[in-house]
Structure 1
């Protein structure tokens, strides 16, 4: 299903200008009219929920930057999709192999910090030097990524009870409003 930014804003309970800022901040392609896939909805939901869980925007952005670097090193950007950085939301399975924000499957268990750094999803010719020789190393970035991700996951886990209680409270408010509304 495809959406407009207005549709997604309604689903997320946010103003479309706020979502436009998120598109720019995270470097996601923009569209006019109905051109946003379900992947956008899922990505926005992830970021908005992280903010609701009191994860600082700067930490989310830093994690996103490392994820993008990992995906570029693994040539995810060469598959020809303009939304390559969030296309992982359209796939299912292998949760232990997926990056947290992009849902990109790195092809190996994140917990073991092993990837296939030479894995190339494109048919293009390789670079003159290997990524490791140019100072970028997928395994090093994945290790750095895990160090950044763990505190975020701990914050979310600490906030779980508060978020559940807030959801229950919001549901009771909604019931109260619907009981008061004669139409």
Structure 2
């Protein structure tokens, strides 16, 4: 591996791809396609902010996404900004609108998991702030959070701005 390569981001991508494949094998994709509410039932989000920490490399990445698809990603390597395409923006909005906040636990943790990522997610919807903390395995298995994690993987692929 070359010096300066983005090993933590690559590892995260591989882990999420594995969870995606496991979800398909174990039928979790079908759960993800069955929202508990519709986008028209819930107000759209105003902002999503996520802090991703941990892994064996001890990464810290922050994400901020707005309803129009604009995003920023900040880490020790630098900052990236961009805009999701229309399809991804719609997918993200539908995924957030489908979350059943009454049933989703505030903390989702898998027992005895070392070196996993921890996601501290904040969703501002209307005037209400919803917070969920989940490790990568638990979030990847959760049909409501999985589409949001998959969008973070797409955002991770955006190159860092050179200073």
Is the TM value for this pair above 0.5?
no
Compare the two structures and name the one with the higher strand fraction.
Answer: 2
Q: Which has the higher contact order (CA 8 A, sep 6+)?
A: 2
Q: TM-score, normalised by structure 2?
A: 0.33
Q: TM-score, normalised by structure 1?
A: 0.31
Compare the two structures and name the one with the higher helix fraction.
Answer: 1
